[in-house]
Amino acid sequence: MKIERKVITLSILFLLVIFIGSYFYHMAEGWSYMDSIYFVVITITTIGYGDFVPITNFGKIFTIFFSFLGIAMAFYIISSINHFMIKKHVSKHVSALKHDIKEGEIKVERGKKVKRVKR
């Protein structure tokens, strides 16, 4: 199964954003790395339980911008993966249809519906 380079690149970039955000919260808010990763994932996925909140002003300002970036990236990655899966699904069916036309199992006439030839 061939995975598009774009999806891999975006996934690596997304993980990088998670780790950069986690490092920031670890340093700025004094949270453990586990708590920082947890907060970043909960924020990016828009769950937002509210059990962790930034205390420092710098942390609050960073969260505003980080949320927009992280949420937009998450939606873009999901959209790209969805596009890849749909493209794969459609190309599979188009290939099968072309094969059937080539083998004479389907008769195509201009301006008319496709008909299956009974054998």
pLDDT tens for each residue of 2-30: 667 887 888 899 999 999 999 999 999 99
What is the tally of structural domains in the chain? 1
Structural domain including 60 reads 5-88
- Residue 14, domain member (yes or no): yes
CATH of the domain at 10: 1.10.287.70
**DSSP class of 107:** E
Tens digits of per-residue pLDDT, 27-70? 999 999 999 999 999 999 999 999 999 999 999 999 999 999 99
Q: Which two tokens stand for residue 43?
A: 């924020």
- Residue 93, domain member (yes or no): no
DSSP letter for each residue of 65-79: HHHHHHHHHHHHHHH
